[in-house]
Structure 1
């Protein structure tokens, strides 16, 4: 599944210091004279001589005036220094790239042009400081130098889909305005910096690297954590949700995580997406998952769980996608699953689930149904198959019996239908010819009788597997036939 991650543009509290207008600047010509001296290139000694002269003229206000001037001078110098620092940080970033389309940066990063016009660089209009770097998919190779931590106004850093190596600089944790870090699909190694000081960090995407996730569960502002495909090992902290109450997306798929999913996961009460498939989790699925009343997508398959589907899942009224494929589940599929009206995807592929399918359902939004490679039995009751939005269904490799329901012909959106490796008998329903099927597989069943001519009127068909027991005009039909 592809997830799209926006670059947020909220204004940051980090702003340049602006001194309030002081009445003294309007009434005292001495101050104006000192400012002219200061900004017109006169030396400090000349300024001091002028100040000494004025000391005797206006002694009561001298020290206040002097402090005001020095403060103004400091503000001007710091503003210029900060912009120079941004430029130096970007030049250091460029120097760390050892291969890739460097000519792009050489051509577009001209010292004679404002850094805000450089490719991949965005600045704020108010202070002309660097707020975003975006170099996704540039195929850069190299490392990231600590100097990147000097971009103090940076809110978004996207270096995804490159070939950066080495560690992620700890200096990133000092960027208090940072909201998004997207380093997915690189080759970073080592520990993830502690982003506890990044009080605005909302999205941390480190998918497909080789990182160690120390310190990610103390980022109080975090909303999405993407750490899939990082070879993460050991287990999850039991108190992982104590400091990340705003978390809406937790993506830990394709790692080596083991142990049990913490019961206290319910404390991540804002969770919308939970992706933990392809790990080594064991034990039973915690019933507390059913307390995540905002959960919309749950992917926990390809693990080593024991037991069945938690009954608490019935409480997830917002759940749209439920994937438990290859999760070593046993028992029956609870009937309430087929009455969760919000569900769009049900995936129980490759478990050890048994029993019959329920006679009644309320799944008006169901689009995909994966029940293959289980031990499901019984007949498919004809009247229940009226899923108006279903486009993909696989019931292969079970122990279903009886006839294939004629009501399958009412599944007007169905494109893919797999019923092979069951114990279906009888004739192939001619009603299937009403569908816009792309693939149809009913092989390795006990079907008999002629093949309906309506099947050959399906103009969209690309793969057709009917089985050797079917006969057409007395001739055996091949087990597999493809239409291109």
Structure 2
């Protein structure tokens, strides 16, 4: 019974220990050096809106600190920081070098805080697991450290819209996994290192609006996967565009606007993927190449150069062409009318042909373009001698608010809205509910959430014909129905880049009119982690904001399901472990108790059924001390024999009597009664 009590006591002790473990686990489960690093990072930041107020409470992973996303428990028994998602939190201050101690980090995102200053810590180069370095939209300054070039798993290097100076480190050639190199709108200077042409995975190279000088590296034509090369508004000092750029077999977009370039235009006709060419505002000379470009071309801008000769006919027959800008050159001859007589021109495509300020004398052929084609001929001799109304209408048109000039912010729009006939009072707008514009069910009222995105380098000039393809592309990658996405509005910004305002509506199932939390989180995580693949038409994108209003305003989004663990889940794991251990302990206790009870019962039964003991009243008893003295300590010289029970010794008692003393051998079972 004592043993059973002992086992019960042991179980209670285990119970107490595991409850103590639970409390300890909730108090400290994140790897301690990483907790120290987070605290150092917090000390360097200022948080005027108190978005990081919970960073002083509990454990970073268990307590779900704002923007801190963790791994599942690792073999070392700890959780580790997997992502810092500090997007658009209005933080100020500086980035701490202790960021380099987050050795399991895959995403470092401080985008659009606007006022984070100082340099990018070189210690970030220690985070070998890092995949996304996202620091756009701040006031970071100083040069880029060589150490940042030793991130073998980095996929996206995004530090645009800062104040970074200095040259590009040659060490960046070691970014062997980097696909997106976005550093536009800084003050990066010097020549582009030719070594960067050896970056094997690079597809987007965006360094427009910097202070780059020197030559364009001809080696870039050897980059096997390069699709977008955008270097507008740099100063390449009167150098030429390498002719080898016409051999970039995967190139989709080449934008070298206002780069002080001279010489001839390379022939890009062999690039079957080509969509967008902007070489405007340079000092390019010679004629325009006459070979036909790819049918995928949407935009050709060669304006504000010194190009001469006639306009070649190779610009006709391009079914997706949206803009052809040749204004402010030295072009002569006739205007070929087959540009707008193109039978392959898609009816939904709005084509702008701008030939202003050249030396064009006449229009050859028909002068009756379709309604979706705009022609501009001001500043040409053909307008000075125009005596026909059909020609005069091309000579003095001023582009109004409804006309499209990419990059000026004039083009705005939205998706169609099919809910105009629904009764307003049937949808509670005060709770952020509204009619789903393209719902398959009439007047379906639901609560959307809003997402702000920006397309960094689209290869189109007019977004309107691409609204439906864009919705199809996004909803397919998010696993949604087409009607669940509504393009609220869009506007072209400097670059040109395209700002999009999107609304997402819940799916119509049993009249459900709200998203559940897990679905919002799923969509958020796909967009925020760039899981939507790159697209040649829309280019790379960036997340500007993720707005939850109305019924979603109090949602506390949890970490990534694939990379984090909630407090409730962790508590469940520990409590489950405790329950299992206690159950095993109780089972062992019951087993031991039953076995001991059975053993005592058998011993008692054996003793009760044994032989009747011999009467020993006349037998004298001797103590062990007396026998030990009689045999001189059981020495071998007085041993007279040995049997299975033990050894026999000759002894002499205190009264002189000689006796034989048999000493039992340890472990012997003989003599038991």
Into which bin does the TM-score normalised by the smaller protein fall? 0.5 to 0.7
Give matches, 1:97-116, under 5 Å: 97-98=45-46, 100-101=48-49, 103-106=50-53, 108-109=54-55, 111-112=57-58, 114-115=60-61
Matched, 1:120 2:120: no
Q: Do the aligned partners of 1:403 and 1:426 also contact (CA within 8 Å) in 2?
A: no
TM-score, with structure 2 as normaliser: 0.50
> What's the C-alpha RMSD, in Å, of the aligned pairs?
3.3
Larger relative CO (CA 8 A, sep 6+): 1 or 2?
2
Distance 1:363 1:143, change over 3 A: same
Cα separation, 2, equivalents of 1:462 and 1:238: 38
Asked whether the equivalents of residues 421 and 444 of structure 1 are also in contact (C-alpha less than 8 Å), the reply is no
Q: Is the 8 A contact 2:165 2:189 kept in 1?
A: no
1:460 Cα deviation from its structure 2 partner: 6.3
CA contact (8 A) 2:282 2:305 kept: yes
Alignment of 1:11-410 (within 5 A): 83-98=31-46, 100-101=48-49, 103-106=50-53, 108-109=54-55, 111-112=57-58, 114-115=60-61, 117-125=64-72, 127=74, 128-162=79-113, 163-193=115-145, 194-209=147-162, 210-212=164-166, 213-214=168-169, 215-242=171-198, 244-281=199-236, 282-311=238-267, 313-336=268-291, 338-360=292-314, 361-385=316-340, 386=342, 387-388=345-346, 389-403=349-363, 409-410=369-370
Shift of 1:180: 0.6
Deviation for aligned residue 1:459:
12
Partner of 2:390: 429
Q: 1:100-156 CA deviation, whole Å, 9 max, x = no partner?
A: 42x1211x4351365362222222345543211222222321101111112221111
1:291 shift after superposition: 2.1
Q: Contact (CA 8 Å) 1:404, 1:428: kept in 2 or not?
A: no
Q: 1:461 to 1:263 in 2, by over 3 A?
A: closer
Once the two structures are superposed, what CA deviation does each residue of 1:153-200 show, in whole Å capped at 9, x if it has no partner? 111111122211111112111111100111122222223232343210
Q: Give the conservation status (yes or no) of the 8 Å contact 2:243–2:266.
A: yes
Residues 65-103 of structure 1, C-alpha deviations (whole Å, 9 max, x = no match): xxxxxxxxxxx99xx6753333332232222123542x1
Partners of 2:101 and 2:124 lie apart in 1 by 9
Point out where structure 1 has 5 or more consecutive residues left out of the alignment. Answer: 1-32, 42-75, 433-439, 446-457, 464-484
Change (3 A) 1:125 1:356: same
Distance 1:95 1:393, change over 3 A: farther
Any idea what SS the aligned residue of 1:241 has?
A: helix
**SS of residue matched to 1:246:** coil
**CA-CA distance at 1:400 after TM superposition:** 2.0
Shift of 1:286: 0.8
How many residue pairs align between the two structures? 366
Relative to the length of structure 1, the TM-score reads 0.68
After superposition, the C-alpha distances for 1:247-271 in whole angstroms (9 at most, x for unaligned) are: 1111121122111111211232210
Q: Which residues in structure 2 correspond to 1:468-479 (within 5 Å)? A: none
2:582 is matched with none
Shift of the 342–235 alpha-carbon distance from structure 1 to 2, 3 Å rule, reads same
After superposing on structure 2, the runs of 4+ consecutive aligned residues of structure 1 that deviate more than 6 Å are 458-463
Shift of 1:308: 1.0
Cα 1:356–1:126 change in 2 (3 A) is farther
User: For structure 2, which runs of at least 5 residues remain unmatched after alignment?
Assistant: 1-9, 19-23, 406-673
Alpha carbons of 1:232 and 1:240: their partners in 2 closer, same or farther (altered >3 Å)?
A: same
Matched residue SS, 2:205: strand
Aligned-pair CA distance for 1:404: 8.8
Equivalent residue, structure 2, for 1:5: none
